[in-house]
Amino acid sequence: MQERYDPAAVEAEAQQYWDRERCFEAKEDSTRAKYYCLSMFPYPSGRLHMGHVRNYTIGDVLSRFMRMNGRNVLQPMGWDAFGLPAENAAMANKVPPAKWTFDNIAHMKAQLKSLGFALDWSRELTTCTPEYYRWNQWLFLRMLEMGVAYQKTGMVNWDPVDKTVLANEQVIDGRGWRTGAPVEKREIPMYYLKITAYAEDLLDALKDMPGWPERVRAMQANWIGKSVGVRLGFPYDIGGPGVLHAFTTRADTLMGVTFCAVAAEHPLAAHAARGQPKLAAFIEECKRGPAIESELATQEKKGMPTGLTVRHPISGEAIPLWVGNYVLMSYGEGAVMGVPAHDERDFEFAKKYHLPIKSVIDVGGREYSTEEWRPWYAEHGRCINSGPYDGLEFQAAVDAIASDLSRSRLGEKQTTWRLRDWGISRQRYWGCPIPMIHCQACGAVPVPDEQLPVILPTNLVPDGSGNPLLKDAAFLAVACPQCGADARRETDTMDTFVDSSWYFLRFACPDNDKAVLDSRVQYWAPVDQYIGGIEHAILHLLYSRFWTRVMRELGAVAFKEPFANLFTQGMVLNEVFFRKPDAGRVEYFNPSEVEIRLDETAQRRIAVLRSDGEEVESGGVVTMSKSKNNGVDPQALVDEFGADTARLFTMFAAPPEQTLEWSDEGVQGAYRFIKRLWKAVHDHVSQGTPAALDTAALNDAQRGIRRQAHHTLAKITDDIGRRRTFNTAIAAAMEMLNALAKFPQSSPQDRSVMQEALEIAVLGLSPIIPHATHAMWRALGHETALIDEPWTPVDAAALQTSSIAMVVQVNGKLRGHISVAVGADEGTVRAAALADLHVQKFIGTSAVRKVIIVPGKLVNIVV
């Protein structure tokens, strides 16, 4: 064994061994319990970032730990390889997105390998290859048959310069994020997936998912947004009889309606606007809406009367109909009943336009004034001023009103969802082609299965003038599968979230070119442990849950929930440094270019740019990002300290669910620890092979070390296996090494105890620092590879002691320490505690009122 720890050599050797022995190739084995551990696959952006390192190290630690604990582990990796950045890079570099993407994959794969992750590369999949995306297309066609996929013309954000639909997140201050052009609302035909049909089940199932963080379940429930209420009908006669439908969760306030309001996009608004230029102008203004999403909720409520009236469904009274800018066409049916007395928004609206306010709920004796809004006006209570409903409580009133209205067909109970159907069409090139053909005669015709896959041409270079597929004659031209006439291919591609909605199932059988899934899925799926960033809490994880349900209906899988356990790791943060010139943009400097010093008085921290020696400002510790230029390149870290140090630092600096603050000194500390462990092993083995351990012949010090070693093993096992607090597992190992450093090596049994303790340290740390421990395990005299070693059981006998230390409190304050024999009875413990000199001093002349004994821990004397 080399005296000096040389991470580059050690890591190359270990990685070569794992490669040569094909250690990470998972084989189905029905006689063994499987463990499918999956980290969210990356977008191949070019280089790994620290977030990837953290994510994949967590998965790797769990995979290696479960493997050593006897599970048949599958830990695959793939590439979420379609998407916008490839098109942007293509435009900038004039290279097809395919080349850029595959170059990035090659580089990032090498990086992942250099970090020593136990990944089964034989199952690697890439979503932009026809071998993968053909099954997207196949599944889409099945969904079309099931009625889960359908076409609809809907309102979208349209960038008039790039000529494409933008996602909501890509619209910044009302302008396209890339072009800066004002975004237009456009009606465009798109394909949708009927996720709303699964809303109830997606919501209900959340209650029974103990392996998911409460936070994520809450976010999904929030997003699905179930509201139970009544769909009301307000009859009218406006160019013919009709009914205005409005949804409410407060049907009990129906008798307090003093107006109705519809959204600007509502048909009745359009109808009223004819011949009313002022109203038409107002409607146009509303449609444009505020530029910024967050302003929506705070913008002033505005409205305009239509001059029309509808009739109250119970009293038949005429109710004025308004157009209101606070009514959303996308929720319910784009209309609300206005009850100013019991709804804050309606109140504000009524005050502004001097509409009557009629209180119909007893607010429980609290003050009611139409002058000012009070939060309790919206609380549930007993009906008043409501004719036949007076005196009824909330639910009774809702039931009675719904029942009365059901006779006149002007009301029925209804559940409304915030969740919308998932529009998957993108006017983008670099995505999975939607397998449809447009024929003049036959309309939209699905591509027949035998013609799949519809191959995306890989040689096109987008130029910013819209989807290049629109100009690709070879792609466009196709014969109609129904009538054979010349037809045109659909040029829209699928949202990339489609690709990631089921890739975890395909890892079971990525080589199958005959079927989307096969029997191997029954063995591996569902995923036992899924690991990824909280930013995917809603979209990716909700779509995947939906998609899995659809695949279950198709008979492809037998379960509804794809991820039994979910772990969301925290972000990686770093300090941000910048200069703000008097004019121009803020300039950010990477922390690697900045040096931290103390000023002359050693009071103040000063950040100085190395290149010019001048001061820069610190913007605090924030998420690592390109825009703030505060990222740390994992490659530089691996090159300088090795993969094990990178892994150890990211696992040690914070609990994995919390944010992790980058610290160069912390990295040094991790490196120092591995070096110390290496040296301890080296010093030990260089003295030759120790004698066999004779546990019966140990002295107190030796037994003490043995106890600590096994206690540490128990803690590491629990911390990794149950608590997932890798930081405390590492801390325990550090504590043990500190104790070993003070442990004298004079007798043969000292060396035997040391051998056992070092083996425990090496084995226990191997999931976290697999390379160094691989080498140290061999150095400790083992022929076998550590990766295949079973996890050592804790020796219960080693944990036993003859006496036990207890603390003594007087009135709850720590006053003394006593040592009592194991199994001592309460009387003995009590006597020992009372006899302690220090304790006696605090008892003094006071009478002892009570003595509380917590066995094995403490004695509290109450005086």
Partner RNA sequence: GCCCGGAUGGCGGAACUGGUAGACGCGCCGGACUCAAAAUCCGGUGGUGGUGACACCGUGUGGGUUCGAUUCCCUCUCCGGGCACCA
Site for RNA in 39-98 (CB under 7 A): none
Q: Give 475-481 contacts, CB < 8 A, sequence gap 24+.
A: 478/437, 480/437, 480/439, 480/441, 480/442, 480/445, 481/437, 481/445, 481/446, 481/447, 481/448, 481/451
Q: How far apart are CA 579 and CA 616, in angstroms?
A: 6
Nearer to RNA, 300 or 600 (CB): 300
CB of 823 to RNA, least distance (A): 18
Question: What mask of x and - would describe binding to RNA in positions 634 to 673, judged by CB under 7 A?
Answer: ------------------xxxx--xxxx-x-xx-xxx-xx
Identify which of 360, 138, 328, 366 has the alpha carbon closest to the alpha carbon of residue 247: 328
In angstroms, the Cα distances linking 430 to 88, 99, 108, 437 are 10, 12, 20, 19
Within positions 344 to 373, which residues make up the interface with RNA, using CB under 7 A? Answer: 345
Instruction: State the Rg of the chain over Cα.
Output: 34
Give the DSSP letter string of 480-516.
-TTT--EEEE---EE-HHHHTTTHHHHTTSTT-SS-S
Nearer to RNA, 253 or 702 (CB): 253
Helix axes 700-718, 748-765, angle to 10 degrees: 10
User: Which tokens is 746 given?
Assistant: 């004079």
Nearer to RNA, 27 or 604 (CB): 604
- The DSSP secondary-structure symbol of 696 reads G
Q: Which residue has the tokens 């720890």?
A: 5
What amino acid is encoded at 13 in this protein? E
Choice from 23, 161, 219, 384 touching RNA (CB under 7 A): 219
CB-count burial class (<10 Å; 0-12, 13-18, 19+) for 74: buried
Choice from 461, 554, 807, 834 touching RNA (CB under 7 A): 807
CB of 460 to RNA, least distance (A): 33
Q: How far apart are CA 693 and CA 696, in angstroms?
A: 9
Choice from 54, 301, 647, 684 touching RNA (CB under 7 A): 301
Stretches 26-34, 243-251, 489-497, 768-776: which one binds RNA (CB under 7 A)?
A: 243-251
User: Which tokens is 848 given?
Assistant: 């002892």
In angstroms, the Cα distances linking 405 to 310, 319, 393 are 16, 17, 18
User: Which tokens is 590 given?
Assistant: 């990477």
CB of 723 to RNA, least distance (A): 6
Check: CB of residue 279 under 8 Å from CB of residue 304.
Answer: yes
CB of 68 to RNA, least distance (A): 20
In angstroms, the Cα distances linking 658 to 349, 533, 570, 716, 723 are 44, 11, 5, 19, 14
Check residue 675 for interaction with RNA (CB under 7 A). Answer: yes
User: Which tokens is 275 given?
Assistant: 């011949």
Q: What's phi and psi for 536, nearest 5 deg? A: -95, 15
Check residue 106 for interaction with RNA (CB under 7 A). Answer: no
Query: Sign (positive/negative) of CA torsion 726, 731, 737, 740?
Result: negative
Q: How far apart are CA 334 and CA 346, in angstroms?
A: 15
Nearer to RNA, 23 or 534 (CB): 534
Give the DSSP letter string of 785-828.
-GGGPPPPPP-HHHH--SEEEEEEEETTEEEEEEEEETT--HHH
Nearer to RNA, 79 or 641 (CB): 641
Within positions 521 to 540, which residues make up the interface with RNA, using CB under 7 A? Answer: 534, 537-538
Check residue 862 for interaction with RNA (CB under 7 A). Answer: yes
Check: CB of residue 555 under 8 Å from CB of residue 573.
Answer: no
Choice from 330, 440, 800, 803 touching RNA (CB under 7 A): 330
Check: CB of residue 219 under 8 Å from CB of residue 569.
Answer: no
Choice from 293, 362, 390, 553 touching RNA (CB under 7 A): 293
CA 572 and chain centroid, separation:
14
Nearer to RNA, 217 or 771 (CB): 217
Nearer to RNA, 205 or 219 (CB): 219
Stretches 5-13, 136-144, 218-226, 382-390: which one binds RNA (CB under 7 A)?
A: 218-226
Phi/psi region, residue 365 (left: phi>0; alpha: psi -120 to 50; beta: rest), is: left
Check residue 745 for interaction with RNA (CB under 7 A). Answer: no
CB-count burial class (<10 Å; 0-12, 13-18, 19+) for 145: exposed
Check residue 707 for interaction with RNA (CB under 7 A). Answer: no
What amino acid is encoded at 295 in this protein? E
Nearer to RNA, 142 or 217 (CB): 217
Check residue 387 for interaction with RNA (CB under 7 A). Answer: no
CB of 852 to RNA, least distance (A): 4
Collect all residues with Cβ–Cβ distance below 8 Å to 443 and sequence separation of at least 6: none
Q: What angle do CA 35, 41, 44 make, to 5 degrees?
A: 155
User: Which tokens is 795 given?
Assistant: 């020796």
Stretches 92-100, 220-228, 306-314, 560-568: which one binds RNA (CB under 7 A)?
A: 220-228
Check residue 607 for interaction with RNA (CB under 7 A). Answer: no
CB of 80 to RNA, least distance (A): 20
Question: What mask of x and - would describe binding to RNA in positions 427 to 456, judged by CB under 7 A?
Answer: ------------------------------
Choice from 152, 185, 215, 597 touching RNA (CB under 7 A): 215
Nearer to RNA, 111 or 840 (CB): 840
Nearer to RNA, 96 or 334 (CB): 334
CB of 341 to RNA, least distance (A): 13
Nearer to RNA, 386 or 809 (CB): 809
Check residue 800 for interaction with RNA (CB under 7 A). Answer: no
Check residue 415 for interaction with RNA (CB under 7 A). Answer: no
Choice from 222, 315, 451, 802 touching RNA (CB under 7 A): 222
Nearer to RNA, 150 or 376 (CB): 376
CB of 769 to RNA, least distance (A): 14
Nearer to RNA, 171 or 480 (CB): 171
Question: What mask of x and - would describe binding to RNA in positions 759 to 798, judged by CB under 7 A?
Answer: ----------------------------------------
Beta bridge partners of 260: 321, 337
Check residue 838 for interaction with RNA (CB under 7 A). Answer: yes
Check residue 243 for interaction with RNA (CB under 7 A). Answer: no
Check residue 327 for interaction with RNA (CB under 7 A). Answer: yes
Check residue 326 for interaction with RNA (CB under 7 A). Answer: yes
Within positions 263 to 292, which residues make up the interface with RNA, using CB under 7 A? Answer: 263
Check residue 374 for interaction with RNA (CB under 7 A). Answer: no
CB of 789 to RNA, least distance (A): 24
CB of 407 to RNA, least distance (A): 22
Check residue 6 for interaction with RNA (CB under 7 A). Answer: no
Residues that contact RNA, how many (by CB under 7 A): 91
Q: How far apart are CA 259 and CA 353, in angstroms?
A: 11
Check residue 738 for interaction with RNA (CB under 7 A). Answer: yes
Check residue 520 for interaction with RNA (CB under 7 A). Answer: no
User: Which tokens is 784 given?
Assistant: 């076998």
Choice from 214, 285, 393, 587 touching RNA (CB under 7 A): 214
Helix axes 770-779, 664-685, angle to 10 degrees: 10
* Neighbour tally for 613: CB within 10 Å: 8
Check residue 223 for interaction with RNA (CB under 7 A). Answer: yes
Query: Sign (positive/negative) of CA torsion 719, 664, 116, 525?
Result: positive
Check residue 296 for interaction with RNA (CB under 7 A). Answer: yes
User: Which tokens is 838 given?
Assistant: 């220090």
Check residue 811 for interaction with RNA (CB under 7 A). Answer: yes
Stretches 79-87, 136-144, 224-232, 466-474: which one binds RNA (CB under 7 A)?
A: 224-232
Check residue 337 for interaction with RNA (CB under 7 A). Answer: yes
Q: How far apart are CA 546 and CA 195, in angstroms?
A: 7
Nearer to RNA, 557 or 713 (CB): 713
User: Which tokens is 59 given?
Assistant: 């998965």
